[in-house]
Protein backbone atom coordinates (compact mmCIF):
# COMPACT_ATOMS: atom_id res chain seq x y z
CA UNK A 1 0.00 0.00 0.00
CA UNK A 2 1.49 3.33 -1.03
CA UNK A 3 1.45 6.47 1.11
CA UNK A 4 1.59 9.12 -1.57
CA UNK A 5 -0.87 11.31 0.41
CA UNK A 6 1.15 11.17 3.63
CA UNK A 7 3.13 14.28 4.51
CA UNK A 8 6.06 12.15 5.65
CA UNK A 9 7.25 8.78 4.41
CA UNK A 10 9.94 6.65 6.02
CA UNK A 11 10.31 4.28 3.09
CA UNK A 12 11.33 5.12 -0.45
CA UNK A 13 13.70 2.33 -1.39
CA UNK A 14 17.47 2.21 -1.68
CA UNK A 15 17.75 5.38 -3.77
CA UNK A 16 15.86 7.44 -1.21
CA UNK A 17 18.05 6.14 1.60
CA UNK A 18 21.22 6.91 -0.37
CA UNK A 19 19.94 10.46 -0.85
CA UNK A 20 19.19 10.74 2.86
CA UNK A 21 22.76 9.76 3.68
CA UNK A 22 24.03 12.40 1.24
CA UNK A 23 21.72 15.02 2.74
CA UNK A 24 22.86 14.21 6.28
CA UNK A 25 26.45 14.60 5.05
CA UNK A 26 25.54 17.97 3.49
CA UNK A 27 23.88 19.13 6.71
CA UNK A 28 26.93 18.02 8.71
CA UNK A 29 29.18 19.91 6.29
CA UNK A 30 27.08 23.04 6.80
CA UNK A 31 27.16 22.64 10.60
CA UNK A 32 30.94 22.13 10.55
CA UNK A 33 31.50 25.28 8.47
CA UNK A 34 29.15 27.22 10.76
CA UNK A 35 31.48 26.65 13.72
CA UNK A 36 34.63 27.63 11.82
CA UNK A 37 36.00 31.21 11.80
CA UNK A 38 35.24 33.10 8.60
CA UNK A 39 37.59 36.09 8.89
CA UNK A 40 40.37 37.25 11.19
CA UNK A 41 42.40 40.37 11.92
CA UNK A 42 45.85 40.38 13.46
CA UNK A 43 46.85 43.63 15.18
CA UNK A 44 50.63 43.97 14.97
CA UNK A 45 51.12 45.73 18.32
CA UNK A 46 49.43 42.90 20.24
CA UNK A 47 50.87 39.53 21.11
CA UNK A 48 49.46 36.50 19.34
CA UNK A 49 47.28 36.35 16.27
CA UNK A 50 43.57 36.37 15.51
CA UNK A 51 42.78 39.44 17.60
CA UNK A 52 39.38 39.82 15.95
CA UNK A 53 37.68 36.66 14.68
CA UNK A 54 34.47 36.78 12.68
CA UNK A 55 32.06 33.88 13.15
CA UNK A 56 28.65 33.62 11.50
CA UNK A 57 27.05 34.66 14.81
CA UNK A 58 29.36 37.59 15.64
CA UNK A 59 32.89 38.78 16.29
CA UNK A 60 35.17 37.30 18.93
CA UNK A 61 37.51 39.95 20.32
CA UNK A 62 40.58 39.55 22.53
CA UNK A 63 40.63 41.54 25.77
CA UNK A 64 43.23 44.09 24.59
CA UNK A 65 41.12 45.06 21.60
CA UNK A 66 37.95 45.19 23.70
CA UNK A 67 39.62 47.53 26.21
CA UNK A 68 41.56 49.79 23.83
CA UNK A 69 39.64 49.92 20.56
CA UNK A 70 36.48 51.72 19.55
CA UNK A 71 33.56 49.25 19.93
CA UNK A 72 32.27 50.42 16.53
CA UNK A 73 35.14 48.43 15.04
CA UNK A 74 33.69 45.09 16.10
CA UNK A 75 30.29 45.42 17.84
CA UNK A 76 27.12 43.95 16.34
CA UNK A 77 23.46 44.92 16.97
CA UNK A 78 21.86 43.17 19.96
CA UNK A 79 19.41 41.28 17.76
CA UNK A 80 22.09 39.87 15.47
CA UNK A 81 23.27 36.84 17.43
CA UNK A 82 19.76 35.54 18.31
CA UNK A 83 18.69 36.12 14.70
CA UNK A 84 21.50 34.11 13.12
CA UNK A 85 21.18 31.26 15.64
CA UNK A 86 17.46 31.13 14.88
CA UNK A 87 18.31 30.97 11.18
CA UNK A 88 20.76 28.12 11.75
CA UNK A 89 18.24 26.18 13.87
CA UNK A 90 15.48 26.59 11.27
CA UNK A 91 17.88 25.57 8.49
CA UNK A 92 18.81 22.37 10.32
CA UNK A 93 15.13 21.62 11.02
CA UNK A 94 14.27 22.17 7.35
CA UNK A 95 17.01 19.76 6.27
CA UNK A 96 15.87 17.22 8.86
CA UNK A 97 12.27 17.46 7.63
CA UNK A 98 13.46 17.09 4.04
CA UNK A 99 14.75 13.61 4.83
CA UNK A 100 11.22 12.20 4.94
CA UNK A 101 8.99 14.96 3.55
CA UNK A 102 6.60 13.74 0.86
CA UNK A 103 4.68 16.83 -0.25
CA UNK A 104 4.42 18.47 -3.67
CA UNK A 105 4.44 22.26 -3.95
CA UNK A 106 2.25 23.45 -6.84
CA UNK A 107 3.77 26.27 -8.87
CA UNK A 108 1.37 26.80 -11.73
CA UNK A 109 1.38 23.72 -13.96
CA UNK A 110 4.48 22.34 -12.19
CA UNK A 111 4.53 20.50 -8.88
CA UNK A 112 7.88 20.58 -7.14
CA UNK A 113 8.85 18.36 -4.21
CA UNK A 114 8.74 20.56 -1.12
CA UNK A 115 11.78 18.71 0.25
CA UNK A 116 13.89 19.76 -2.75
CA UNK A 117 12.66 23.35 -2.44
CA UNK A 118 13.59 23.48 1.25
CA UNK A 119 17.05 22.05 0.60
CA UNK A 120 17.64 24.58 -2.19
CA UNK A 121 16.44 27.46 0.00
CA UNK A 122 18.78 26.46 2.81
CA UNK A 123 21.73 26.17 0.41
CA UNK A 124 21.01 29.46 -1.36
CA UNK A 125 20.38 31.33 1.89
CA UNK A 126 23.65 30.04 3.36
CA UNK A 127 25.58 31.20 0.31
CA UNK A 128 23.74 34.52 0.53
CA UNK A 129 24.74 34.78 4.21
CA UNK A 130 28.39 34.50 3.17
CA UNK A 131 27.94 37.24 0.60
CA UNK A 132 26.08 39.49 3.04
CA UNK A 133 28.75 38.97 5.72
CA UNK A 134 31.46 39.97 3.26
CA UNK A 135 29.48 43.01 2.09
CA UNK A 136 28.77 44.25 5.62
CA UNK A 137 32.35 43.63 6.74
CA UNK A 138 33.74 45.48 3.73
CA UNK A 139 31.26 48.33 4.17
CA UNK A 140 32.11 48.79 7.86
CA UNK A 141 35.83 48.57 7.15
CA UNK A 142 35.55 51.19 4.39
CA UNK A 143 33.62 53.49 6.72
CA UNK A 144 36.53 53.27 9.17
CA UNK A 145 39.07 53.79 6.35
CA UNK A 146 40.64 50.35 6.68
CA UNK A 147 40.80 47.31 4.41
CA UNK A 148 38.51 44.38 5.05
CA UNK A 149 41.07 42.16 3.32
CA UNK A 150 44.78 42.94 3.42
CA UNK A 151 47.01 45.30 5.39
CA UNK A 152 45.68 48.46 7.04
CA UNK A 153 46.75 51.23 9.38
CA UNK A 154 44.06 52.15 11.90
CA UNK A 155 44.14 55.09 14.31
CA UNK A 156 41.86 54.44 17.25
CA UNK A 157 39.78 57.57 18.03
CA UNK A 158 39.69 56.70 21.75
CA UNK A 159 43.40 56.17 22.45
CA UNK A 160 44.77 57.84 19.30
CA UNK A 161 47.09 54.88 18.90
CA UNK A 162 48.00 53.82 15.38
CA UNK A 163 47.77 50.09 14.82
CA UNK A 164 48.95 47.96 11.92
CA UNK A 165 46.34 45.36 10.99
CA UNK A 166 46.33 42.37 8.67
CA UNK A 167 42.96 40.89 7.76
CA UNK A 168 42.08 37.85 5.68
CA UNK A 169 39.36 35.30 5.01
CA UNK A 170 39.65 31.94 6.74
CA UNK A 171 38.94 28.49 5.32
CA UNK A 172 35.62 28.44 7.16
CA UNK A 173 34.28 31.15 4.85
CA UNK A 174 35.02 29.12 1.73
CA UNK A 175 33.76 25.93 3.34
CA UNK A 176 30.47 27.69 4.03
CA UNK A 177 30.14 28.67 0.38
CA UNK A 178 30.92 25.09 -0.66
CA UNK A 179 28.39 23.72 1.85
CA UNK A 180 25.67 25.97 0.47
CA UNK A 181 26.53 25.00 -3.10
CA UNK A 182 26.55 21.30 -2.16
CA UNK A 183 23.02 21.59 -0.75
CA UNK A 184 21.80 23.34 -3.91
CA UNK A 185 23.28 20.55 -6.02
CA UNK A 186 21.60 17.94 -3.81
CA UNK A 187 18.26 19.66 -4.30
CA UNK A 188 18.71 19.54 -8.07
CA UNK A 189 19.69 15.85 -8.24
CA UNK A 190 17.17 14.63 -5.68
CA UNK A 191 14.87 13.33 -8.42
CA UNK A 192 17.56 10.89 -9.50
CA UNK A 193 17.36 9.15 -6.13
CA UNK A 194 13.80 9.76 -4.97
CA UNK A 195 11.51 8.80 -7.83
CA UNK A 196 8.56 7.46 -5.85
CA UNK A 197 7.86 7.07 -2.17
CA UNK A 198 6.94 3.59 -1.07
CA UNK A 199 6.28 1.96 2.25
pLDDT digits (tens, 9 = 90+) for 145-156: 888 898 888 776
Instruction: Note whether residue 2 is domain-resident.
Output: no
Q: pTM surpassing 0.85? A: no
Closest by alpha carbon to 92, among 37, 19, 30, 36?
30
pLDDT of residue 13: 79
Output the pLDDT for position 3. Answer: 41
User: Domain total for the chain?
Assistant: 1
DSSP code of 191?
H
Q: pLDDT tens digits, residue range 24-77? A: 999 999 999 999 999 988 876 555 556 778 889 888 775 555 555 555 566 778
Q: CA-CA distances (angstroms) from residue 34 to 38, 54, 60, 115, 127? A: 9, 11, 14, 22, 12
Q: Tell whether 39 is covered by a domain.
A: yes
Instruction: Give the domain range for residue 97.
Output: 13-71+91-193
Q: Tell me whether residue 113 is in a domain.
A: yes
Amino acid sequence: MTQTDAAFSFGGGAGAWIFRVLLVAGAAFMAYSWFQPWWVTDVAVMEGTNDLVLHPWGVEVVRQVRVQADPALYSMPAFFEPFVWTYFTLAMLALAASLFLNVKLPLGPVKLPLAAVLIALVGLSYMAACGIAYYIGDMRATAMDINFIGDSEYTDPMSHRTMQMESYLMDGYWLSLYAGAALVVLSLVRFLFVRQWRT
